[in-house]
Amino acid sequence: MADASPTQGKLISIAQTLLRDEPDETKRSPTLIAEVVAGIASLHFKSRAEEINQPAAVAELIRRFSHWISTDATLSDVTGHVDWLNAARKKDWRYWHRLSRYMERTLAADVVDALDRSTDEILGLLEDPEREGHWDRRGLVVGHVQSGKTSSYSALICKAADAGYKIIIVLAGLHNNLRSQTQIRLEEAFLGYETSPNRDPGKPLGVFFEDSDPEIHPHCATTREDNGDFNAGIAKHFAISPEERPWLFVIKKNKTVMARLLKWIQGHHVADATDAATGRRIVTKLPLLVIDDESDHASVDTGEQTFDSEGVADPDHQPKAINSLIRRILSSFAKSAYVGYTATPFANIFIHRQAATREEGSDLFPRSFIKNLTAPSNYVGPARVFGARGPNGRVGGLPLTRIIKDHIDGEGPHGWMPEKHKKDHVPTYAGQEMVTPSLREAIHSFLITCAMRSLRGQKTKHASMLVHVTRFTGVQAEVRRQVEQVVKDLRQALTRRINHEKVLADLRDLWERDFLPTSAVIAKTMDELKETSPMHSWSEIEAILPETIGDIALRTINGSAKEAFEYAEREATGLKVIAIGGDKLARGLTLEGLTTSYFVRTTKMYDTLLQMGRWFGYRPGYLDLCRLYTTEDLVDWFGHIADASEELREEFDAMAASGATPEQYGLRVASHDTLLVTSPLKMRTAQNLSLSYSGSAVQTITFKNDKASLQSNLNATFELIQAMGAPASGAPRQERDEKPDEWKRSYIWREVDAGVVIDFLKAYVVPAGIERANSSVMAEFIEKMNEIGLLKKWTVALVAEGADGEKTYHFPRGISLKSLPSRSHRGDASRYSIGALTEPEDEAIDVGYDMWKSALNATLKSWKPDPARNRFDPPSRPNGKALRQLVSPEAIGEASRGLLLLYPLTPSGAAGAVPEDWNDPIMAFAASFPSSEKTVKVEYMVDHLYWKNEYGASE
C-alpha cells in the first residue's frame, strides 16, 4: 500500500487548492473529492502511481474540509496606539505568503485562513514598525496546550518581518532540546534553510520551496545544534545589516545567554543613542519583536515588590534574573513589542499592573492586549478528553483513559512508582525489577496502534509513546531499562517466534476487548472517523507486527537535543519512539504523533499539570487509537483543570464582548477561584491571598466524613431553617422558553436576613485545605459587604430533588423529605468528594422569566462555538455569570441579594466514604454572589509548608 510520500502530499495540496474554490460547500462531497483526486493522479502523477494512495488522499481531504474554526476573543487597550495595518500594507508581503502556501500542504485551507485573520489582529495590535519615536507594546496570546501556538507565532514572525520589524528574538524555554525544537520549526516556517554551526545558510527546507529568492532569506544568529544558542564569540563576526533583512535569535531563557545578548545589543553599532535617564545605550532605528514562548514559565518575576499607599512601585526593586533581562532587552530599544504565548496564563495575569523599576522599566503585564485563540474543530483538549462536570460525574468525554493502580503497593513509599520516592528509588513490581502489568499493556497498545496506523496509510508518520512517571533522571534510567526488556521480548517473540503464542494471544485479547469497542464508540461520536479511520482485521495487523516492532526505538528525554529531535532526520520514514522522561517533557516539548501515554501525577498545580498534558492536540485519522494510562486521581485533577479553564474563558469572553481592557480582566481574575492554578510565588504574594466572591458561585464538593462533622453541619442547617421561619408556600416554579423549571420537592425562603446566613456559614465545617469554598471566609466576606450596605438580604432554598427512598427525613418547620439528591463519591476514603453539586437550572431558582431571558441573551451575545471547549450548539439557558451580572446592585439597586442553596445529599451516594452507621443527610451548600463594582476583599492566609507538601514545589 502506498504511504504518505512527497508525491502524495503534492496531490493532496493540488486537490485542496481546486476544491477550496468551490462556491457550494455541498459540492465538497466524498464523491466529488474522489473524482478530483482521480483526475489529478491520472493527469499529473501517472508515472508515479506506485507513490499514490488515492483512498488515503480522499480520506485526508474529507478530514480537512470537515474542519472549522471559530473566531478569537480579544481584550485590548489602545491607549497610545496608532491604527496602521490595512490591505495596502500587506500587498507585497512575501514571508507570510510563502508560509501560508507551505502550511496548506498539511493543513485545511480554512484553518490557514483563520490563522491569517488571527495573526493580522495580533500584528495590528502591535505598533507600526515604521512609526517614529518611542513606543512599547505588551501583549499575551493564550492558546490551548498543543493546539498550534507555534504556528501562530511563526505566522506572526513572518508578518512582522514583512511589515518591517528588524530584530526578532524568540525566548524558547529553559532547555536545549526545546530551544533546538523551536529553531528547527522556524527554519521551516521563516528562514527556509537549515542553520549550520558557522551560521551560514545550509540546505534549503520548508518555505524555501515556495519562494527560493535568496534576496529575502532572513539572517539567523542561532543554530539547531545542541550548543547553537547565542554565542558572543560568533557574534563578533556578524556582518549585521538588519536594515536590509531581519535577524532572528532563538535563545533559551538562560541568565548567561540573555546577559550575553543584552551586552551585544548595547555594545554593537546597532545601539545608536544613549538614554538620558539611565545612561545606557539604546537602539532607536531598528524595531524589536520579542516572542516569549511559555511566557508564564521563568519569565514572571516571583520577587516581592513593594508598593506605597498610592500604588507606586518601589523603583529599586530587584526582579528575578530572567524577568529582569527580558525587560532590559526591551528597554534597550526605542521601538519594541513583546508578545507572550502560553496555554496557562494564570501567572501572567497576576503580574502587578503598575510594577516597574528604574533599571528595567515596566513589568511584563500584557497591558496592550490579551487574545484567546480558538482551536480548530479537530483539536482534542482537556474538555474533550475528560468531558464536563455534572452532578452525576463527568459527561461528554472520550473513552480513551485507562485507570492504573498497580504502580503503587499499599500505603507509603512502596511499589513500582509511589507518589513520593527518592532519586535512588528502584522500581519493583511483585518483588522484581520489571514493569507493571499496566505499563506492559500500554506498550502492547502502542505496538498495535503503530501497526494500525501503517494499515491506514500512515506508515511514514511519526508515532510516539510517553512514559512520564518520575522527575529523577536516575529513576528514568531504571524505567528505560525495564521498558527495553519488554520491547526486546516482544521483538524476539514476533520476529524470531520465541514464546510467540502467549504474546500474540495477549495482543489479540487487547485488540478485541479494547480497540474494537473503543473505535466503535468514537466513530459514533465523531462523524469524520466513519470514513477516515477504517478498522482492519486482526489477521492484517498480525501480519505486520514483526516489522512494526522492529521500527520501535527508545529515548530518554533529559535535556539532550540529540535524542529529542530525531524526528527531523526521520521525516521520510517516520520515527516510532517510546520517550521516557520527567520534567524535560513537562513544557513545550512536542512528541510528534503521540498516541499512548503512561502518566503518574507529580503535581497538583493547575498550570504545571496542564503543561504536562502532552497528549492533547491533533490526532488526524488515529484519535480512536490513542490511550492515556493514568491514575483516577489525575483524571479528577484534569477534570478540575477543564472546569477552571472554562470558567476563566467564559469570564474572558463576557469581558471581551463588553469592550473591557486587559487591566480590568486582570483585576477580575485576581479575585477569581484560582488559588490552585499556580504557585503562590507566581501570584506575587508570600503570605496571603486577597479573595472576593462578587460575581462568583461557590459550591462544596469535598466534605469531612467523621460523624461529628457530619452532625455539626446537619445541626447548622437545622438552626438556619428554624431561624428563617416558615418557607414560602408552594414548590418553586419558574416559566422558561420550552417548559417551566420546577423543583417539586424543594422549599424556598425569600428576604432572609444576612445574619442568619452568616451564622450558618460560621457553624459549617469544611475540610482543611479548602481555599475557595471556605465557609468562614465567606461569612467574613458577607459581613464586610453588609458594612457597605450590600448582601443584606438572601434567598435560601432547600433543594431536595431526588428519587423517593424508603426513609423519611424530618427537618424543622414541619419539613419532611422522602427524596434526597444523590451525588456519587469520587476518590479515596479519606474524604467524601463529588464532581459537582448544583444542577444547571438551580442558580435561577428565584429568577423570573424576563430576567432569565435577558441573562440568556447576554450569554448568547458572548457565546461562540469552540470545539476545544466542547461547545458546538448555542446554549438554551443562561450561564451563571450572566445571571449574577443581572442581579448586581448596579443593575437592580440595593434589592440585590445573595442566593444560598442547601443540598441534603443521600448517604447512599457516599458509601465507603462515610461511616457505615451514618444514615442521615450529608449537608452540602452552594452560594451565588451577585456581581458588584463595590466589592470588598478578605485575606486568606496561605500555609506555604502545607502548599509544598500538598501541591509540590514551585517551578
What is the phi/psi pair of residue 675, to 5°? -60, -35
- Which residues have a Cβ under 8 Å from the Cβ of 380 and sit 6 or more positions away? 398, 616, 617, 618, 619, 623
Asked if the structure places residue 341 within a domain, the reply is: yes
The CATH number of the domain holding residue 266 is 3.40.50.300
Both 12 and 98 in one domain: the answer is no
- Alpha-carbon gap, residue 583 to 676, rounded angstroms: 20
Do residues 606 and 640 make contact, with C-beta atoms less than 8 angstroms apart?
yes
For residue range 428-479, list pLDDT tens digits in order: 998 899 999 999 999 999 999 999 999 988 888 899 999 988 888 899 999 9
Same domain assignment for residues 36 and 84? no
**Predicted local distance difference test score (pLDDT) of residue 158:** 98
pTM score above 0.95: no
pLDDT at position 526? 66
Q: What is the pLDDT of residue 584?
A: 57
Nearest to 808 by CA among 744, 740, 664, 904: 904
Is 389 inside any structural domain?
Answer: no
Q: 15 φ, ψ to 5°?
A: -60, -40
pLDDT for residue 530 is more than 50: no
Q: Is the pLDDT of residue 904 over 70?
A: yes
Q: What mean pLDDT is predicted for residues 247-264?
A: 93
Residue of 504, 586, 592, 511 lying closest to 549 (CA atoms): 504
* pLDDT at residue number 911: 85
**Res. 617: pLDDT tops 80:** no
**What is residue 565's predicted lDDT score, i.e. its pLDDT?**
52
Q: Which residues contact 405 (CB under 8 A, 6 or more apart)?
A: 438, 631, 632
Is the residue at 643 inside a domain?
A: no
Is 102 within 8 Å of 189 (Cβ atoms)? yes
Among candidate residues 342, 372, 402, the one where a domain is terminated = 372
Nearest to 697 by CA among 906, 845, 862, 909: 845
Query: What percentage of residues in the chain have a pLDDT greater than 90?
Result: 44
DSSP of 381-431, one letter per residue? Answer: -HHHHH-EEETTEEES--TTEEE--TTS-SSSS-SSS-SS--TT----BTT
Residue 677 has pLDDT above 60, yes or no: no
Given 352, 372, 392, which residue is the final one in a domain? 372
Q: Is pLDDT of 2 > 50?
A: no
- 181, 294: one domain: yes
* Domain shared by 107 and 62, yes or no: no
Closest CA to 875 of 890, 859, 887, 891: 859
E-only strand ranges, 561-712: 576-581, 594-599, 617-618, 627-630, 688-691, 697-699, 702-703
Alpha helices in 126-192 (DSSP H): 149-163, 176-186
What is the pLDDT, as a whole number, of residue 604? Answer: 55
Higher pLDDT, 699 or 831: 699
Q: Higher pLDDT residue, 228 or 797?
A: 797
For residue 14, what pLDDT is reported? 87
**What average pLDDT does this structure show over 170-183?**
87
pLDDT band at 619 (very low <50, low <70, confident <90, very high): confident
Reply yes or no on whether the pLDDT at 363 is more than 50: yes
Same domain, yes or no, for 845 and 712? yes
**Cα 725 to Cα 813: distance, rounded to the nearest angstrom:** 7
Q: What are 792-818's pLDDT values in tens digits?
A: 999 999 999 988 877 899 999 999 998
The band of 50, judged by pLDDT with boundaries at 50, 70 and 90, is confident
The pLDDT of 913-940, averaged and rounded, is: 87
Name the domain boundary from 355, 372, 389: 372
Co-location of 849 and 882 in the same domain: yes
> Which of the four pLDDT bands, split at 50, 70 and 90, describes residue 687?
very low
Residue 414 forms part of a structural domain: no
End-to-end C-alpha distance for the chain, whole angstroms:
48
Q: Are residues 323 and 210 in the same domain?
A: yes
The pLDDT, as a whole number, for residue 598 is 93
Whether 217 and 99 map to the same domain: the answer is: yes
Among the listed residues 155, 132, 135, 134, the one whose alpha carbon sits nearest the alpha carbon of residue 143: 155
Residue 825: inside a domain, yes or no?
Answer: yes
Average pLDDT over residues 649-659: 79
Query: Is the pLDDT confidence value at 257 over 60?
Result: yes
- pLDDT on residue 739: 94
Query: Is 92 found in the same domain as 54?
Result: no
Could you tell me if 48 and 90 lie in one domain? no
Domains contained in the chain, number: 4
What is the rounded CA–CA span in Å between residue 591 and residue 100? 24
pLDDT at residue 26 in the model: 58
User: What is the rounded distance in angstroms from the CA atom of residue 867 to the CA atom of residue 871?
Assistant: 5
Q: Which residue has the cell 545612561?
A: 279
Full domain range(s) for residue 21: 6-66
Task: Identify whether 403 is part of a domain.
Answer: no
SS3 367: coil
Per-residue model confidence as pLDDT tens digits over 274-317: 887 778 889 998 999 999 998 877 777 666 555 555 556 566 66
Residue scoring higher pLDDT (421 or 516): 516
What mean pLDDT, rounded, does the chain reach? Answer: 84
The answer to whether residue 422 is domain-embedded is: no
Question: What tens digit of pLDDT does each residue of 129-174 get?
Answer: 999 999 999 999 988 777 778 899 999 999 999 999 999 999 998 8
pLDDT at 528: 46
**342 shares a domain with 256:** yes
Query: Has residue 577 got a pLDDT over 60?
Result: yes
Comparing 461 with 894, the larger pLDDT belongs to 461
For residue 614, is it within any domain? yes
Q: Which DSSP state fits 283?
A: B
Tens digit of each residue's pLDDT (9 = 90 or more) over 90-108: 999 999 999 999 998 888 8
Percent helix, strand and coil across the chain, each to the nearest 5: 40, 15, 45
Rounded percentage of the chain residues whose pLDDT exceeds 70? 84
Dmax of the chain from CA atoms? 89
Please give the average per-residue pLDDT across 844-853, as a whole number: 95
- Helix (H, G, I), strand (E, B), or coil: what is residue 58? helix
pLDDT attached to residue 686: 35
Are β-strands 463-468 and 594-599 bridged in parallel, bridged antiparallel, or unpaired?
Answer: parallel
Q: Note whether 277 and 347 are same-domain residues.
A: yes
